[in-house]
């Protein structure tokens, strides 16, 4: 069992990574159904929370079934970050996570997110301010360092543990790498195997298959893995990894009925949570992923991304199930998009 403060997670937990514009309540619901052990909100600006900005406040929403659930905040000002942690407390999440990893210019260049990686003393002060402001467990998500010359995660881990964080998630890239190249887990393994470190260390970056998850688990000894892009349109990745860790065997790929059922749940939750217009519109980016692997699906996809009512979309989803009933999917080959170019937050 892995403990984050008073939160108990199963052995080798799989965490859904916080993802702006992706890991909202509808998406989290389908990840939870399919094996995610712990989930986080999208990152929330501390200044936005304090100003009571609608967008920031809305990101605090979560459902009881999502627990254990963490709210992720970011900011470069000690007082504001501490105050925003207090605001998070009002909705009673299980923990508060601080983002020191966002590489996006508008965040990092303002001295927040990965920008803090340039100034470890500031990172420590910011974290301390949050730890002192809340009685909830505080965790941190960060990268290896700012650039190749400052890969200081080993020092960071020790100093943040010393001031009271309860777990650390590490994305195996520097800020300067953005999403380029391959994530390097060597330093993540070093942090985990440092005898001074006793908080859980979660590895993150490029996990896209059960094989890779098990290989990295064994090679780097991390307490658990955080998964981001691979879960987009393929939330089955969590249970597939769990099954492979336990048995060394692969689960059968989800059938067309299962894919459509999950896609439908995502759509309906989206509709309910975001309202008809935004719910339907924002769901459009997910259909291609859910339907990947089906032959000649373009015609259906075009309909799904132009229809304006849930009833019409449901009818097309029914048609897809009928047309492809019994279709045998190849074992999934997940493609990790280079979000440096495509990510909505860049
Ligand atoms: C669309 C998108 C949005 C993201 N937003 C956040 C965020 O809000 N907070 C955060 O800590 N990381 C964010 N990330 C980074 C992911 O949490 C994760 O660290 C990164 O994608 C690497 O993991 P992966 O290879 O499993 O995707 C985002 C990534 C993507 C692709």
Per-residue pLDDT of the chain (346 residues; tens, 9 = 90+): 999 999 999 999 999 999 999 999 999 999 999 999 999 999 999 999 999 999 999 999 999 999 999 999 999 999 999 999 999 999 999 999 999 988 778 887 777 887 889 899 999 999 999 999 999 999 999 999 999 999 999 999 999 999 999 999 999 999 888 888 899 999 999 999 999 999 999 999 999 999 999 999 999 999 999 999 999 999 999 999 999 999 999 999 999 999 999 999 999 999 999 999 999 999 999 999 999 999 999 999 999 999 999 999 999 999 999 999 999 998 777 778 765 444 444 3
Whether 283 is in the pocket of ligand 1, judged by its Cβ within 6 Å, is no
Instruction: For residue 155, give its domain range.
Output: 7-252
Same domain, yes or no: 273 and 200: no
> Residue 125 in 3-state DSSP?
helix
Please report, for the domain that includes residue 298, its CATH number.
1.10.1200
Same domain, yes or no: 218 and 309: no
Please report, for the domain that includes residue 247, its CATH number.
3.20.20.70
Predicted confidence at residue 104, as pLDDT, reads: 79
Predicted confidence at residue 345, as pLDDT, reads: 41
Predicted confidence at residue 343, as pLDDT, reads: 43
Asked if the structure places residue 338 within a domain, the reply is: no
Same domain, yes or no: 152 and 279: no
Predicted confidence at residue 105, as pLDDT, reads: 80
Same domain, yes or no: 286 and 239: no
How close is the Cα of 18 to the center of ligand 1, in Å?
A: 6
Predicted confidence at residue 338, as pLDDT, reads: 63
Asked if the structure places residue 344 within a domain, the reply is: no
Same domain, yes or no: 98 and 241: yes
Buried b (16+ CB within 10 A) or exposed e, 148-178: eeebbbbebbebbbeeebbbbbbbbbbbbbb
How close is the Cα of 345 to the center of ligand 1, in Å?
A: 10
Residue 71: both structure tokens together: 């709210």
Asked if the structure places residue 340 within a domain, the reply is: no
Q: Among 220, 252, 284, where does a domain finish?
A: 252
What's the domain count of the chain? 2
Q: Is 286 annotated as a binding residue?
A: no
Q: Among 252, 287, 309, where does a domain finish?
A: 252
Same domain, yes or no: 205 and 95: yes
Asked if the structure places residue 343 within a domain, the reply is: no
How close is the Cα of 135 to the center of ligand 1, in Å?
A: 26
Nearest to 81 by CA among 124, 117, 23: 124
Predicted confidence at residue 63, as pLDDT, reads: 97
Same domain, yes or no: 271 and 178: no
Predicted confidence at residue 339, as pLDDT, reads: 54
Q: Among 252, 281, 305, where does a domain finish?
A: 252
Same domain, yes or no: 289 and 234: no
Let me know: does 324 contact 288? Beta carbons within 8 Å. no
Asked if the structure places residue 263 within a domain, the reply is: yes
Maximum pairwise Cα distance, the chain: 59
Asked if the structure places residue 171 within a domain, the reply is: yes
Same domain, yes or no: 189 and 49: yes
Residue 230 has phi, psi (to 5 degrees) of -65, -20
Active site (annotated) includes residue 31: no
Same domain, yes or no: 237 and 267: no
Predicted confidence at residue 196, as pLDDT, reads: 98
Q: Closest ligand 1 atom to the C-alpha of 205?
A: 25
Same domain, yes or no: 261 and 239: no
With the most atoms of ligand 1 within 8 angstroms of its CB, the residue from 14, 20, 184, 212 to mutate is: 20
Asked if the structure places residue 122 within a domain, the reply is: yes
Same domain, yes or no: 182 and 75: yes
Asked if the structure places residue 51 within a domain, the reply is: yes
């Amino acid at each position: 069992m892995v403990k984050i403060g008073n939160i108990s997670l199963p052995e080798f937990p799989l965490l859904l990574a916080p993802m702006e514009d992706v890991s909202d309540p509808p998406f989290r619901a389908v990840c939870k159904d399919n094996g995610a052990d712990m989930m986080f909100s999208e990152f929330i600006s501390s200044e936005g929370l304090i100003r009571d900005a609608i967008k920031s406040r809305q990101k605090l929403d979560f459902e009881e079934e999502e627990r254990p659930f963490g709210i992720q905040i970011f900011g470069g000002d000690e007082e504001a970050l501490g105050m925003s942690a207090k605001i998070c407390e009002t909705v009673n999440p299980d923990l508060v996570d601080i983002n020191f990893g966002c590489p996006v210019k508008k965040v990092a260049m303002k001295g927040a997110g990965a920008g803090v990686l340039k100034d470890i003393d500031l990172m420590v002060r910011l974290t301390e301010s949050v730890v002192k402001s809340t009685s909830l467990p505080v965790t941190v998500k960060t990268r290896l360092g700012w650039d190749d010359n400052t890969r200081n995660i080993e020092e960071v881990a020790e100093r943040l543990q010393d001031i009271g964080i309860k777990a650390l998630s590490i994305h195996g890239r520097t800020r300067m790498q953005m999403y380029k190249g391959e994530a390097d887990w060597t330093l993540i393994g070093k942090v985990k195997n440092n005898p001074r470190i006793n908080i859980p260390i979660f590895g993150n970056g490029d996990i896209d298959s059960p094989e890779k998850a098990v290989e990295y688990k064994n090679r780097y000894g991390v307490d658990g893995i955080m998964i981001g892009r691979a879960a987009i349109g393929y939330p089955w990745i969590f249970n597939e990894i769990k099954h492979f860790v336990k048995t060394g065997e692969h689960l059968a790929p989800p059938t067309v009925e299962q894919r459509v059922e999950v896609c439908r749940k995502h759509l309906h939750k989206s509709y309910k949570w975001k309202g008809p217009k935004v719910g339907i519109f924002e769901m459009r980016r997910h259909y291609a992923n859910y339907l990947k692997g089906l032959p000649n699906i373009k015609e259906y996809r075009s309909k799904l991304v132009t229809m304006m009512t849930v009833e019409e979309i449901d009818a097309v989803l029914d048609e897809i199930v009928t047309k492809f009933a019994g279709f045998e999917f190849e074992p999934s080959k997940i493609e990790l998009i280079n979000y440096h170019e495509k990510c909505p937050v860049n």
